[in-house]
Amino acid sequence: MTQSTERDRVLIFDTTLRDGEQSPGATMSHAEKLEIASMLDEMGVDIIEAGFPIASEGDFKAVSEIARASRNAVICGLSRANIGDIDRCWEAVRHAARPRIHTFIGTSPLHRAIPNLTQDEMVERIHQTVTHARNLCDNVQWSPMDATRTEEDYLCRVVETAIKAGATTINIPDTVGYTAPRESAELIRMLIEKVPGADEVVFATHCHNDLGMATANALAAVEGGARQIECTINGLGERAGNTALEEVVMALRVRGDIMPFTTGVDSTKLMAISRRVATVSGFPVQFNKAIVGKNAFAHESGIHQDGMLKNAETFEIMRPADVGLKETNIVMGKHSGRAALRSKLSELGFDLADNQLKDVFVRFKALADRKKEVYDDDLLALMRDQADET
Ligand code: KIV
Ligand code: ZN
Task: Give 141-178 pLDDT, tens digit per residue.
Answer: 999 999 999 999 999 999 999 999 999 999 999 999 99
Closest alpha carbon to 67 in 87, 42, 90? 90
Q: Would you say 209 is a known binding-site residue?
A: no
pLDDT above 60 (res 1): no
pLDDT above 70 (res 3): no
Best of 100, 172, 175, 210 to mutate for ligand 1, by most ligand atoms within 8 A of CB? 175
Least confident of 63-77, 140-154, 309-323: 309-323
For residue 173, the ligand closest to its alpha carbon is: 1
pLDDT above 90 (res 299): no
Residue 328 Cα, ligand 1 centroid: separation in angstroms? 37
Between 24 and 1, residue with greater pLDDT: 24
317 neighbors 254 (Cβ within 8 angstroms): yes
| Residue 4 binned pLDDT confidence (cut-offs 50, 70, 90) | very low
- What's the full length of the chain, in residues? 390
For residue 147, the ligand closest to its alpha carbon is: 1
23 neighbors 283 (Cβ within 8 angstroms): yes
User: What number is the average pLDDT over the span 275-293?
Assistant: 96
Residue 243 Cα, ligand 2 centroid: separation in angstroms? 10
Residue 108 Cα, ligand 1 centroid: separation in angstroms? 13
| Residue 205 binned pLDDT confidence (cut-offs 50, 70, 90) | very high
Residue 238 Cα, ligand 2 centroid: separation in angstroms? 7
User: What number is the average pLDDT over the span 37-57?
Assistant: 98
Residue 136 Cα, ligand 2 centroid: separation in angstroms? 24
For residue 104, the ligand closest to its alpha carbon is: 1
325-365 residue pLDDT tens: 987 778 889 889 898 889 888 878 788 989 889 999 999 99
Which atom number of ligand 1 is nearest to the Cα of residue 147? 3
Q: Whose CA is nearest to atom 8 of ligand 1?
A: 19
pLDDT recorded at residue 6:
63
pLDDT above 50 (res 227): yes
Q: Would you say 242 is a known binding-site residue?
A: yes
Which atom number of ligand 1 is nearest to the Cα of residue 145? 3
Residue 145 Cα, ligand 1 centroid: separation in angstroms? 6
pLDDT recorded at residue 73:
98
pLDDT above 70 (res 125): yes
- H/E segment holding residue 382: helix 376-389
Best of 206, 207, 228, 229 to mutate for ligand 1, by most ligand atoms within 8 A of CB? 206
Q: Whose CA is nearest to atom 1 of ligand 1?
A: 175
291 neighbors 320 (Cβ within 8 angstroms): no
Q: Would you say 19 is a known binding-site residue?
A: yes
252 neighbors 263 (Cβ within 8 angstroms): yes
Residue 80 Cα, ligand 1 centroid: separation in angstroms? 10
pLDDT above 90 (res 301): no
Tell me the DSSP string of 302-319. HHHHHHHHH-GGGT-SS-
| Residue 70 binned pLDDT confidence (cut-offs 50, 70, 90) | very high
User: What number is the average pLDDT over the span 90-119?
Assistant: 96
Closest alpha carbon to 322 in 360, 288, 296? 296
Pocket around ligand 1 at a 6 A CB cut-off: 19, 104, 143, 145, 171, 173, 175, 206, 208
- Alpha carbons 131 and 125: distance in angstroms, whole number: 10
Which atom number of ligand 1 is nearest to the Cα of residue 146? 3
For residue 141, the ligand closest to its alpha carbon is: 1
Q: For all residues of the chain together, what is the average pLDDT?
A: 93
The answer to whether the Cα torsion of 170, 22, 238, 37 is positive or negative is: positive
pTM of the model: 0.89
48 neighbors 73 (Cβ within 8 angstroms): yes
User: What number is the average pLDDT over the span 305-317?
Assistant: 81
Q: Would you say 206 is a known binding-site residue?
A: yes
Residue 173 Cα, ligand 1 centroid: separation in angstroms? 6
For residue 232, the ligand closest to its alpha carbon is: 2
User: What number is the average pLDDT over the span 216-241?
Assistant: 97
Tell me the DSSP string of 45-103. -SEEEEE-TTT-HHHHHHHHHHHHH-SSSEEEEEEESSHHHHHHHHHHHTTSSSEEEEE
| Residue 5 binned pLDDT confidence (cut-offs 50, 70, 90) | low
ipTM of the complex: 0.99
